[in-house]
Chain A
Amino acid sequence: MSEKKEQPQIVIKNLWKIYGKDPKRIFTKKMQDLSKDEIQEKTGCIVGMRNISLEVERGQFYILMGLSGSGKSTLIRALIRLIKPTDGSIEINGKDITKMNSEQLLHFRRDTYGMVFQHYGLLPHQTVLDNAAYGLKIRGVPKGERYAKAMRTLETVGLKGWEDYYPGSLSGGMQQRVGLARALANDPDILLMDEPFSGLDPLIRRQMQDELVELQEKLQKTIVFVTHDLHEALKLGDQIAIMRNGELVQVGTPEDIVSNPADDYVQEFVRDASPAKVLTAGTIMESPKVLLYAWEGPKTALTLLRSNNRKAAFVVDKGHKLLGVVKESKLEQLLNLAEKPKGIPLSAIKKITSVTEDTIVEDLFSIVSENPYPIPVVDENNKFKGMVTTDQIFESIAPAADEGGDND
């Protein structure tokens, strides 16, 4: 049964949504080949989603991105069956929710989801506390318990002391915190967020994003998050799915999307994305021409350096752990000693700042300006993985901008 566990939490297969009268009837094989505009012209029906298949892993922060009208809301609302798909299947935790009846759906929604809306969707006639406790009330949790839980989640989102206010007297950012608290109070399996920060001022938006990242580190929920803002997507997402006209155009990690846009549409999206914020040391690193092992003698090391025309090289120990950097001049000194050492002594090795593979390029700038060597990249056990040179750093951020600016 261990295989079962690894199944993605959300599996969507060939999902279609056609808005309009009697969509099942017009949903023919022939029709499926037509474009969105042609279908609309012929039948008056609007294609909301076209043949979408995707998978979301448990604990993943999954972003749906696209221009307005590209079908993001349609997709996220289909996940909770606020709309009924025309065709295809949505399996959540192994259950196909497109086949559920309304009674099953009620229970499924209560037990599985928390949802956050763009315009908050709060109840203006109820206090912040009652709003936060609403999902629990629907679940039938007794009053005392649901207020205690709601209080705790309000505290988590930084709204302690506001529980007796009405939503109308709160700022937009704070109202959205109430929305988030309401969604989290249920301790849902999956968090659905449809442009939750789009209505907020840029500063507040950034702050909320930071807090969501922090929260997700603790909670490790599966989150499906809709946005049309690339920076938000890159900052939050583990995986980004880009939609256009109801279709899935590209799915990938933030790095994939920025470094290999699938087509012009995606290219347009990522054009003003700063690669420095997305690309990581892991993607741009290379292996050094020369890597020295601490147990090798200074003589061998020096030969290696000279034959490769290098003035210095990284040194690792037997476990491939990074020790530091050694210079040609240091090796020469060692050879001149009366008693030649067997390997390279630690005293000859200079310690050096290293980074991990997921360090973003932007954070490499300050390090590269501090020391004259390439930056070594190591894993969490300090094992040497590769290195990043100054040239690579600048190359990595240049080409995308070049290609984008190629249009005369």
Chain B
Amino acid sequence: MISFPDVTTIPLASWIDAAMTWLLQNLSGFFDAVGFIILQVVLGFETIFLFIPWFIIILLVGLAGWKLVGSIRTGITFMIFMFLIGSFGYWELSMRTLSLVIASVFFALLIGIPSGISMARSDRTERILKPVLDAMQTMPSFVYLIPALMFFGMGKVPAMFATMIYAVPPVIRLTNVGIRTVDIEAVEAAKAFGATPKQILFDVQLPLAKPSIMVGINQTTMMALAMVVIGSMIGAKGLGMEVLLAINRIEVGRGFEAGVSIVFLAIIIDRITFSFSQKKEK
């Protein structure tokens, strides 16, 4: 076999390494600040979820299943799921996982929805962002752990950062698509009556794009949840950590319990966020 000539090797890896080093040396204050904010938000959610007594959370989840998703049966099923998670002994860990997911999604939306809006408003921004999003979605999720680790060290913050980056593309995409496919006449009508771009955005585009944006939020949330196990590899405490430990020690039963708990959480979160994307007939 003829090997690829060595001379033309482009040292991309070393360039990126150099860039990272530069970022770390010059922007460490910035990353510290960002890390601090992220941490406060996660801890805030954790405090809330661990403060509320378990039976109240189970009740609230049941209520959400009943009122938002559809039937009283769904509500009861959700309550059983939550109860099972508790009975496996994973209540606290699942609350931590939930906090991590919710905080990641919170930041993903904070970045994703405005990005989606600006993408919808400018064809050029769309042209630039589209390939970036494509690349992000085909990138293996582990890749995000490396820069996250370098910027923030071990623990919750890098896990959340990686999760957020990994999970943000769907909400950007679907916000963009949602706004671009809003009934053109509704937008023109608002324009014709002299509405400003901001009024058009809030009166027409966002409300009419809401179902699409909600689908994006649903997908982003599910991706965030999927990232949880991977995030635990860099020290984020939660259900993912349990799965990881079980794998390392080849404890099938333990892994199964933790895995099933994640699946239960996923189903509940999926159904509830999905219900927001459905139009309610009045």
Asked if B250 CB lies within 8 Å of chain A CBs, one says: no
Known contacts A125-B208, A134-B190; is-contact A119 B183 (Cβ 8 Å): yes
Please pick, from B188, B193, B208, B210, the residue contacting A135 in the complex, using a CB distance under 8 A: B193
Interface size class of A (residues with CB under 8 A): 20 to 34
Q: Mark B154-195, 1 if CB is under 8 A from A, else 0.
A: 000000000000000000000000000001011011111111
Q: Are B192 and A124 in contact (CB under 8 A)?
A: no
Q: Are A82 and B188 in contact (CB under 8 A)?
A: yes
Please pick, from A80, A125, A166, the residue contacting B192 in the complex, using a CB distance under 8 A: A80
Q: Are B188 and A117 in contact (CB under 8 A)?
A: yes
Asked if B207 CB lies within 8 Å of chain A CBs, one says: yes
Please pick, from A107, A110, A111, A121, the residue contacting B189 in the complex, using a CB distance under 8 A: A121
Kindly list chain A residues whose C-beta atoms are within 8 Å of the C-beta of B208.
123-125
Kindly list chain B residues whose C-beta atoms are within 8 Å of the C-beta of A121.
183, 185-186, 188-189
Q: Which of A70-128 contact B (CB under 8 A)?
A: 77, 80, 82, 105-111, 113-115, 117-125
Binds A, one of B39-47, B196-204, B215-223, B228-236: B196-204
Q: How far is the CA of A122 from the CA of B195 in the complex (A)?
A: 14
Q: Which of A137-184 contact B (CB under 8 A)?
A: 138-139, 166, 179, 182
Q: How far is the CA of A120 from the CA of B184 in the complex (A)?
A: 11
Q: How far is the CA of A192 from the CA of B189 in the complex (A)?
A: 11
Q: How far is the CA of A105 from the CA of B282 in the complex (A)?
A: 37
Asked if A186 CB lies within 8 Å of chain B CBs, one says: yes
Kindly list chain A residues whose C-beta atoms are within 8 Å of the C-beta of B185.
117-121
Kindly list chain A residues whose C-beta atoms are within 8 Å of the C-beta of B193.
109-110, 113-115, 134-135, 138, 182, 186
Kindly list chain A residues whose C-beta atoms are within 8 Å of the C-beta of B192.
80, 82, 109, 113, 115, 192
CB of B211, distance to nearest CB on chain A (Å): 11
Q: How far is the CA of A166 from the CA of B207 in the complex (A)?
A: 14
Q: How far is the CA of A389 from the CA of B51 in the complex (A)?
A: 97
Kindly list chain B residues whose C-beta atoms are within 8 Å of the C-beta of A82.
188, 191-192
Q: How far is the CA of A77 from the CA of B187 in the complex (A)?
A: 13
Report the count of interface residues on B (CB-CB < 8 A): 19
Q: How far is the CA of A186 from the CA of B183 in the complex (A)?
A: 23
Q: How far is the CA of A82 from the CA of B203 in the complex (A)?
A: 18
Q: How far is the CA of A119 from the CA of B190 in the complex (A)?
A: 14
Q: How far is the CA of A121 from the CA of B182 in the complex (A)?
A: 11
Q: Which of A171-218 contact B (CB under 8 A)?
A: 179, 182, 186, 192
Residue among B193, B194, B204 with max Cβ neighbours from chain A (10 Å): B193
Kindly list chain A residues whose C-beta atoms are within 8 Å of the C-beta of B191.
82, 109
Closest to B207 in A: A125
CB of B34, distance to nearest CB on chain A (Å): 36
Please pick, from B183, B186, B194, B207, the residue contacting A106 in the complex, using a CB distance under 8 A: B194
Q: How far is the CA of A254 from the CA of B12 in the complex (A)?
A: 74
Q: Which of A330-376 contact B (CB under 8 A)?
A: none
Q: Are A107 and B188 in contact (CB under 8 A)?
A: no
Kindly list chain B residues whose C-beta atoms are within 8 Å of the C-beta of A105.
194
Kindly list chain B residues whose C-beta atoms are within 8 Å of the C-beta of A118.
185
Closest to A118 in B: B185
Please pick, from A77, A123, A135, A139, the residue contacting B186 in the complex, using a CB distance under 8 A: A123
Q: Are B195 and A138 in contact (CB under 8 A)?
A: yes
Q: Are B183 and A139 in contact (CB under 8 A)?
A: no
Kindly list chain B residues whose C-beta atoms are within 8 Å of the C-beta of A186.
193
Kindly list chain B residues whose C-beta atoms are within 8 Å of the C-beta of A122.
186, 189
Kindly list chain B residues whose C-beta atoms are within 8 Å of the C-beta of A182.
189, 193
CB of B206, distance to nearest CB on chain A (Å): 10
Q: How far is the CA of A118 from the CA of B184 in the complex (A)?
A: 11
CB of B87, distance to nearest CB on chain A (Å): 43
Kindly list chain A residues whose C-beta atoms are within 8 Å of the C-beta of B189.
115, 117, 121-122, 134, 179, 182
Kindly list chain A residues whose C-beta atoms are within 8 Å of the C-beta of B282.
166
Closest to B281 in A: A168
Q: Mark B52-84, 1 if CB is under 8 A from A, else 0.
A: 000000000000000000000000000000000
Name the 9 nearest CB pairs between A and B, nearest first. A110-B194, A121-B189, A121-B185, A109-B194, A115-B192, A135-B193, A117-B185, A125-B207, A106-B194
